[in-house]
Structure 1
Amino acid sequence: GPTPQYSINGNKYVLIITDYYTKYVIACPLPNNTATSTAKSFVEQFIFKFGIPRRLVTDQGVHFNNELMQNLTTLLGTNHIQTSAYHPQSNGLVERFNATFHPQLS
């Protein structure tokens, strides 16, 4: 969901990317949560820096569950796995970080 207030750059959302192996976290500010913004940030902030992942685990948000992300992951050869709806424990590492990170934005 959106952050409580806009950043000085006008960003209202944050894309959290976590490497499950190293536990390294990247927080990418976004102006909106569209598929285009999400895919662009994923490519620029993760793929360009760390390479193409074998797997991408996401929730079922519309910014991940769309034709653009499907085409991107197919093109990259990345296995896109979506967690079960209404079951955040499926992505526990990310959800735990979000629970710690989100209050700091207030």
Structure 2
Amino acid sequence: MFNFFKTKPKNYIDLGAEDFNKGMKEKDAVIIDVRTVGEFQSGKFKGARNIDMMSPSFTAQVQNLPKDKKYYIYCRSGNRSGQACDLMADMGFENTFNLAGGIMRWPFEIV
């Protein structure tokens, strides 16, 4: 009758740092950092765009993005970026990739 423990299937892919790094170099890749402006300014991935997941305008900003791109999304730990991927999938985005472990586990260059 009640299914409190049923989880919604993930509509995005979690990637480790190696695969995320390869994917974000593709020509149709868009890199989105969903951390706060302060976190973003303290260090980011080259070419990343900042759209703060906690901002009231997050949904409005994401709705204007083209749906035919591949979105590589990261945050500090992978939690907010996973939520952002989930939200984007609900909005019709089909190619969203979450950096598992976030920027804390990133062994590559940060600018």
Same fold by TM (over 0.5)? no
TM-score (norm 2): 0.38
Q: When you count helix as a share of all residues, which structure comes out higher?
A: 1
Whose RCO is larger (CA < 8 A, sep 6+)?
2
TM-score (norm 1): 0.39
